[in-house]
Amino acid sequence: MRLLLVEDNVTLADELCASLKQQGYAVDWLTDGRDAVVQGATEPYDLVILDLGLPGMPGLDILRQWRKDGLSLAVLILTARSSWSERVDGLQAGADDYLCKPFHPDELLLRIRALLRRSHGHSNNSQLEVKGVRLDERRQTVLLPSGETELTAAEFALLRYFMLHPGQLLSKSQLQDHLYDGEAEPDSNVVEVHVSHLRRKLGRHCIQTRRGQGYRFIGLN
């Protein structure tokens, strides 16, 4: 899943980027609101973490512009502004969640996980379960009828994206857009390699290939 972090506190942003990448997220980081309003509307992000007090353009103005333009991606406001009126303003502007600084990193991760699941029609249980496959996002392992299997970071990120889009035909370019940040330059066959590895662990029929079109996750059921 690809996230956009809009935060002008460099120390905090560095810590968040490191933490989010450990959890299998691809993260782009911007500090200026003017850049964020354009990039958020043109890149295929799954979720935005948005500060309010930004140089160039305030966070609420960015959010209002996105919603005015019909952009429906999930937005989590992360800010030091904690009064009830500011929370109301943020939610009225179109935020999906609102977290005040200071915060515990685990709370942010849980809120991100919940927002992503809800935005794809899944319940926020301790494990993501789709078509007979259970994914433990905290431990980054997959639970099958035969037992628990460890995943590499790349396999985990790919399987999570498949499981949040069950039955959907996903092109290779779409997968690359959502699994890598804007600075990454993945090899042309990287998706095929990781799909092959997942099939060895899950069963070769778990992920279908449509030649020239992409892949579809059908699970074990």
User: Using CA atoms, how far apart are residues 110 and 139, in angstroms rounded to an integer?
Assistant: 13
Mean pLDDT of 197-215: 94
pLDDT of 19 above 80: yes
Phi then psi for residue 120, to 5 deg, are: -110, 15
Indicate if the pLDDT at residue 86 is higher than 80: yes
For the chain, what is the radius of gyration of the CA atoms?
A: 18
**Per-residue pLDDT tens over the stretch 148-195:** 999 999 999 999 999 999 999 999 999 999 999 888 777 778 999 999
pTM for the full predicted model = 0.92
- Residues 92-111 have pLDDT tens digits of 999 999 999 999 999 999 99
Beta bridge partners, 128, equal: 135
C-alpha to C-alpha distance for 82 and 87, rounded to whole angstroms: 7
The domains found in the chain, sorted by start residue, are 2-119 (3.40.50.2300), 128-217 (1.10.10.10)
What is residue 145's predicted lDDT score, i.e. its pLDDT?
84
